[in-house]
Structure 1
Amino acid sequence: MSTAQKSIFITGAASGLGREVARYFANVGWFVGLADIDEKGLDATADLLPKGEYSRHKLDVTDRAQWKKAVAEFAKHTNGHMTVLFNNAGIGAGGPIQDMTDEDIDRMIAINLTGVISGTRACFDLLKNTDDACVLYTSSAAGIYGSAGLSVYSATKFAVRGLAEAHDIEWRPYGIKSRSLMPGFIDTNIISNVDAGSNMSGKERLQSAGVEVSPVSIIGPAAWEAIHGEKVHTPVNKMAKQLAFSARWFPNRLRKQLGLLGGLGDVVQTKPQ
């Protein structure tokens, strides 16, 4: 890596949003750190990138010791710098909260919230040492207004939204920006499951109900816009933008509309984004 080259460290890089952001940023000349617990998925992501322009890191985001090791390894490739931390790793699991298991709830909070906080802390020194640094969080449209059938997932994404807002203020003295992406439904494996009582995938069921599902290619430009723009939150796709508008100006109407749509938990499975 050259001293002038910018860098991005991506959690959840083995699939979905993380893989696409890795591809996008590598193609514009950034050095990319790929981090995930899924090593086969990391192989698949690495195959999309220019040789010598990435590093690979096995990382369980719930393990603070693994965070420390991965960030130290990344720093060796970047001369102790990190332009962007894409704090993206997350899972989704749905259903009424009374039907969820303790294990599912604890795991989702551990990955989607505690793991995100651990990553922010682990990367702080590298970000502080880098000009125009930014931590980019993956929140969700479910962090704009609570989603029935996805209450715990939604709560973690509200929390991530709060981290982005707080850190954008807290870290101003260090020259570090804080931003969040708030995507609606994106065509990744988090909505690819086929329910036992149906022959339709989650994506197909959403589309049949008139819910927009955007291609994953939308996320690279959105991430670029977020880290270079002035807004803390970037709603990604038409659905998220409409939800943000309605939540601000017509919350009662939005609540009724979401009630008519019903719960969305049955189209989400416990897989990374």
Structure 2
Amino acid sequence: MQKSIFITGGASGIGRAIAQHFAREGWLVGIADRNAQGLEETKGLLPEGQCHTYTFDVTDRAGWEAALGDFAGKAGGRINVLANNAGLPSGGPLTEITHEELDLLLDVNLRAVFYGAKAAFEHLKAAAPDACLLNTASAAAIYGVANQSVYGATKAGVRSMTESLEAEWAVHGIKVRSIMPSFIDTPLLQNPPNRSRNTTIREAVVKAGFEFTPVEEVAREAWNAVHGNDTHKIIGKTAKKMKRAAKWFPGYLRRRAIALAEAHERAEGRPAKG
């Protein structure tokens, strides 16, 4: 039977790259996003008849149930992988983030991940032992970075949730994995981190001297995560350096975090202290 994967955030970036990679391997792909045009663009990159699109908001529980139920029906009554990938990159100093922005980030990056896991459980269980919940966390979950207090907290939550569900769902034959990439040059980085800033996230990352990890590398590691035994896949040079430094050189990470904060301030034309 053809294997299947359902991917949120499939209109661009990591979600699109994962869809392309799994489709090349012959999998049936379901992609979801709020961006209907982006979904159609992704679908156009995949083999005909191999992709189904779903436009809904991941914070909508009913949307999850309807989309997964429909896709499972098209996939023979089961789903092998749910790629819980949808997320927002908003950030900036906590004092600048509005309560509305804070709530949205928590809702999309954390609450919706739990919604997806709960909605997908029975579909994954039907595919066990060839089943996996794949969560997109981030290198920001390794060590706190300036201007990413809320974002990093959501991704640390995803990391913790992954470890907990790995233990809970092992008895059902379901793997639970996360991918933890460093900075990815996706369309989302073309936006400012919050409403009070003008400089894009991408500009600040470049000024701070961080490199970008190719989105194709993330997709390859997503495939390896689904088929491997590592709970977390650390992806990209920056992420791997952070993992080593968090253990052996936490002072270095603190300095790098400050460098990123100062890069944001300089990009906005504000004097950086210190």
Regarding TM over 0.5, the answer is yes
Further displaced range: 52-61 or 256-265:
256-265
- How many angstroms apart in 2 are the aligned matches of 1:179 and 1:155? 18
Unpaired stretches in structure 1, ≥5 consecutive residues: 268-273
2:28 counterpart (26, 31, 38): 31
CA distance in 1, matches of 2:54, 2:178: 23
Amino acid at match of 1:183: P
* Cα distance in structure 2, aligned partners of 1:254 and 1:100: 23
SS of the aligned residue for 1:99 comes to coil
Match runs of 1:230-245 below 5 Å: 230-245=229-244
| 1:174 aligned partner, one-letter code | H
Superimposed CA distance per residue, residues 9-63 of structure 1 (whole angstroms, 9 cap, x where no aligned partner): 0000011100110011101100001111111110100000111111111121000
Q: Distance in 2 between matches of 1:192 and 1:159?
A: 25
Deviations 1:141-180 (A, max 9, x none): 1111111101101100000001110011110100001111
Structure 2 CA distance for aligned equivalents of residues 30 and 115 of structure 1: 25
**Matched AA of 1:98:** T
Divergent runs of 4+, >6 A: 194-198, 264-267
Q: Indicate the residue corresponding to 1:151 in structure 2.
A: 149
The letter of the residue matching 1:227 is V
Distance 1:265 1:90 in 2: 21
C-alpha distance after superposition, 1:73-111 (max 9, x if no partner) = 101111111111000000011111111111000011111
Task: Give the aligned partner of residue 128 of structure 1.
Answer: 125
Distance 1:39 1:180 in 2: 26
Asked if the contact 1:222/1:234 (under 8 Å) is kept, the reply is: yes
Partner of 1:258: 257
Contact 2:134–2:226 (CA under 8 A) maintained in structure 1: yes
Root-mean-square deviation (Å):
2.0
Q: Which amino acid aligns with 2:4?
A: S
CA contact (8 A) 1:150 1:263 kept: no
Report the Cα distance in structure 1 between the residues aligned to 2:154 and 2:131, rounded to whole angstroms: 24
The 1-side partners of 2:252 and 2:204 are apart by 24
Confirm or deny: 8 A CA contact 1:143 1:161 kept in the other structure. Answer: yes
**Aligned length in residues:** 263
Whether 1:92 aligns to 2:89 is yes
Q: Spell out the pairing of 1:19-98 with structure 2 (5 A cutoff).
A: 19-98=16-95
Change over 3 Å in CA distance of 1:187–1:226 after alignment to 2: same
Contact 2:146–2:260 (8 Å) recurs in 1 = no
CA shift, 1:262, in A, is 2.5
Of 142, 165, 175, the match for 1:177 = 175
**Deviation, structure 1 residue 263:** 5.8
In 2: Cα distance, 1:194 partner to 1:260 partner: 18
Q: How far does residue 206 in structure 1 lie from its aligned partner after superposition?
A: 2.4
- CA–CA separation in structure 2 for the residues paired with 1:228 and 1:115: 24
Q: CA deviation at 1:264?
A: 7.2
TM-superposed deviation, 1:256: 3.0
Q: Deviations over 1:221-258 (max 9, x none)?
A: 11011111111111111110110111122223322332
Relative to structure 1, the CA distance from residue 8 to residue 146 in structure 2 (aligned partners, 3 Å threshold; closer, same or farther) is same
Q: Is the 8 Å Cα contact of residues 150 and 265 (structure 1) preserved in structure 2? A: no
Whole-angstrom CA distance in 1 between matches of 2:238 and 2:214: 13
**Counterpart of 1:213 in structure 2: which amino acid?**
F
2:205 and 2:264 map into 1 onto residues whose CA distance is 11
Higher relative contact order structure (alpha carbons within 8 Å, sequence separation ≥ 6): 1
Deviation for aligned residue 1:190: 2.2
| Residue 187 (str. 1) matches residue 185 (str. 2) | yes
Cα distance in 1 for residues equivalent to 2:262 and 2:12: 25
Query: Contact 1:150/1:264 (CA < 8 Å) preserved in 2?
Result: no
Matched-pair contact (CA < 8 Å) for 2:204–2:264: no
Between the aligned partners of 2:106 and 2:264, the Cα distance in structure 1 is 16
Are the aligned partners of 1:146 and 1:154 in contact in 2 as well (CA < 8 Å)?
yes
Which of 108, 113, 120 is the matching residue for 2:110?
Answer: 113
Structure 1 residues 31 and 264, CA gap change in structure 2 (3 angstroms)? farther
Matched to 2:40, the amino acid is D
Which residue of 1 is the match for residue 272 of structure 2? none
